């Protein structure tokens, strides 16, 4: 899941971004409205977590721009103003959800995950391939009935490959969907993650390397 967090308070932005990454999301951060629109122009995000009171370009204007462009990206607005009228106004701008500050982080994660399911084709609750089973809701992976301890990135790569249903995914596609803008496209990050994932999945091998193509199940 690719998420853009738009928040002008750097400390809060970095804390929230860190928590969302620990929940298995790929998170980019923008600190003002213009920066947010520049990010959206370059990347297809599943969800934008948008602070309403932004410098340079107000969050309301950012939301209007996203809606006007007809993007599939879902928007959840955050603001310290949490009255009913504020929420109604935010939703009236085209936001898909609205969460007043301060908020429980676990609730933000749940709402972002729910919006992501609405922004993209639904992922089945269970993905299987032979004796490999992935519970996408509980984020549990088993093979031949034995649980496997995967990192968030390993889990995300495996889920992407399984949902591709045999289609080859390029390194660029995996970087785009699983990592964020902090990842260096010229490193061996994807290769190393796939290598560790293969080792954990065991034999017989599940992931195939396609020369000059990428990877597939």
The residues that bridge with 210 in the sheet, in sequence order, are 214
State how far the Cα of 83 lies from the Cα of 67, in Å rounded to an integer: 23
pLDDT of residue 116: 81
Rounded to an integer, what distance in angstroms lies between the CA atom of residue 88 and that of residue 86? 5
- What pLDDT score was predicted for residue 37? 94
Note whether 7 and 111 are same-domain residues.
Answer: yes
Confidence at residue 88, expressed as pLDDT on a 0 to 100 scale: 73
**For every one of its 217 residues, what pLDDT tens digit does the chain have, with 9 covering 90 and above?**
889 999 999 999 999 999 998 888 889 999 999 999 999 988 888 899 999 889 889 999 999 998 888 778 899 998 876 566 766 776 778 888 988 888 899 999 999 988 887 755 656 788 999 999 999 878 899 999 999 999 888 998 999 899 888 899 888 888 877 877 766 666 688 889 999 999 999 999 999 999 888 999 9
Same domain for 8 and 114? yes
Place of tokens 């999945």: 201
Q: Which range marks the domain in which residue 78 is found?
A: 2-119
Both tokens assigned to 184 = 């260096």
Same domain, 143 and 66: no
Rounded distance between C-alpha atoms, residue 52 and residue 202, angstroms: 47
Write down the pLDDT at residue 113.
86
Judgement on whether residues 12 and 115 belong to the same structural domain of the protein:
yes
Of 86, 119, 152, the domain-final residue: 119
Q: For position 100, what pLDDT does the model report?
A: 87
152/110 same-domain check: no
| CB proximity list for 12: less than 8 A, separation 6 or greater | none
In Å, what is the CA distance from 181 to each residue of 27, 42, 176, 178? Answer: 8, 11, 8, 10
Residue 21 sits in the same domain as residue 111: yes
Q: Do 202 and 137 share a structural domain?
A: yes
For the chain, the domain total comes to: 2
Q: What pLDDT is stored for residue 177 in this prediction? A: 78
DSSP 137-170: TTTEEEETTEEE---HHHHHHHHHHHHTTT--B-
């Amino acid at each position: 899941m690719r998420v853009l967090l738009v928040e002008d308070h750097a400390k809060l932005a970095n804390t929230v971004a860190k928590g969302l990454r620990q929940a298995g999301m790929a998170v980019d951060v923008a600190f003002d409205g213009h920066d947010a629109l520049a990010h959206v122009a370059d990347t297809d995000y599943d969800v934008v977590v948008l602070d309403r009171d932004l410098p340079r370009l107000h969050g309301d204007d950012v939301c209007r721009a996203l809606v006007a462009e007809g993007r599939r990206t879902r928007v959840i607005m955050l603001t310290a103003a949490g009255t009913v009228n504020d929420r109604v106004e935010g939703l009236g701008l085209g936001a898909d959800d609205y969460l007043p500050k301060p908020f429980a982080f676990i609730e933000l994660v749940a709402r972002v995950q729910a919006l992501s399911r609405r922004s993209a084709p639904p992922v089945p609750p269970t993905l299987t391939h032979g004796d490999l089973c992935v519970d996408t809701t509980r984020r549990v992976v088993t093979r031949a009935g034995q649980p496997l301890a995967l990192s968030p990135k390993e889990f995300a790569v495996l889920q992407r490959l399984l949902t591709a249903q045999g289609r080859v995914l390029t390194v660029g596609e995996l970087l785009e969907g699983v990592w964020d803008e902090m990842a260096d496209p010229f490193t061996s990050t994807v290769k190393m993650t796939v290598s560790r994932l293969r080792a954990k999945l065991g034999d017989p091998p599940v992931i195939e390397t396609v020369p000059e193509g990428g990877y597939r199940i």
